Amino acid sequence: MVKPLRVEGISEASTESPDEEPSGASEPPPVGPPRARPVVLVLALILTSSVVVVFVGVFAFGLSALQEQRSQRQLYATFRGLLDPASEVPPPIGGSIPDGTPIALLTAPDAGIHDAAVVEGTSATDLLQGPGHLRDSPLPGQAGDAVLLGRSTIAGGPFRNLDRLRAGDQIVVRTGQGRFRFVVEDLRIGAGRAPLIPGGGALMTLVTSSGNGWLGVLSPTHLLYVDTKLEQRPVAAPRGRPATVPSTELPGHGDPGAWPWVALWLAAFVVACALSWWLWFRLGILRTWLIAIPVLFAILWGLSTEIVRLLPNVY
């Protein structure tokens, strides 16, 4: 009888079927985000909060300037079109003017301002578009004291260099009633004593926060006033101007009406983050980000806009 040959060095395991997996083989790594354990949830909350804070800062000091520049181009084109003699709609010169309507072009070379479109209204939302006109004051060039507000830091900071103005500097304003030249008389920190309006004359006051940085937030009453006087005879002011304005349109005030919108945008952001977490399980990280990033960006943009409305309108 012939005995079967045995080859030394080959273990019995080699006789197993190649289709059979070793009993000790490791399981494949899990797909999707980590399980929602307490530590993971805390880290996710910290990361999400950090993203919101950073985005709001980037929006306030960067993206809002791009938004203001876009608004200024549109407002300038609109106002120049109204000034065209062929325009069927005349530029607004008084009465009840809708908020956000361009009413003037402002030029102050010594402050770095060139043909800035001035809108009607001085709420925090209005001033995201550029300088604004206090609605219960006459328009520049009309008898009385016209008051213009502008931001010094966010949304491009159109009035950030007002502190460079000195007595004798020239400021030119173009409205639907003509071109008016003002001369700077004084700069005031805080309300102080406003100059008296000369009989048959006109003044214009430019208002902003007193400096860059967080000063405008920590001390919203710390304001800079630039008093200017019209060098020519004023024009008539049409009737129908508002006698008062809400406190949210006064210098140094924010808009508390933004709080409900802040809450809604935050809720939308939380829901979007939860849906992104769920999509991570279904589609994987790459496809989830392709879908989630545009949505989250849009929500953060809306949230940041509402948070900025809470800040003083001249900051």
Q: Is residue 222 part of a domain?
A: yes
Q: CB count, 10 Å around CB of 212?
A: 13
Residue 197 binned pLDDT confidence (cut-offs 50, 70, 90): confident
In tens, the pLDDT along 63-104 reads 999 999 999 999 999 999 999 989 899 999 988 899 999 999
Q: Is residue 315 part of a domain?
A: no
Range of weakest confidence among 9-18, 46-55, 255-264: 9-18
* Average pLDDT along the chain: 86
The pLDDT of residue 10 is: 47
- CATH code of residue 140: 2.40.260.10
Q: Residue 14 pLDDT more than 50?
A: no
Q: Is residue 4 part of a domain?
A: no
In tens, the pLDDT along 109-167 reads 999 999 999 999 999 999 999 999 999 999 999 999 999 999 999 999 999 999 999 99
Contacts of residue 191, defined as CB under 8 A and 6 or more positions apart, other chains included, come to 223, 225
Q: Is residue 225 part of a domain?
A: yes
Output helix, strand, coil percentages for the chain, rounded to the nearest 5: 40, 20, 45
Residue 180 binned pLDDT confidence (cut-offs 50, 70, 90): very high
In tens, the pLDDT along 227-276 reads 999 999 999 988 888 999 999 999 999 999 999 999 999 999 999 988 98
- The pTM score is 0.83
Q: Is residue 170 part of a domain?
A: yes
The pLDDT of residue 221 is: 54
Q: Is residue 156 part of a domain?
A: yes
The pLDDT of residue 57 is: 94
Q: Is residue 168 part of a domain?
A: yes
Q: Which domain holds residue 113?
A: 60-82+90-256
The pLDDT of residue 196 is: 83
Query: CA-to-CA distance for 269 and 266, rounded, in angstroms?
Result: 5
Report DSSP state, residue 60.
I
Query: CA-to-CA distance for 112 and 110, rounded, in angstroms?
Result: 6
As for how many domains the chain has, the answer is 1
Q: Is residue 211 part of a domain?
A: yes
The pLDDT of residue 6 is: 53
CB 224 within 8 A of CB 163: yes
CB 115 within 8 A of CB 107: yes
Q: Residue 191 pLDDT more than 50?
A: yes
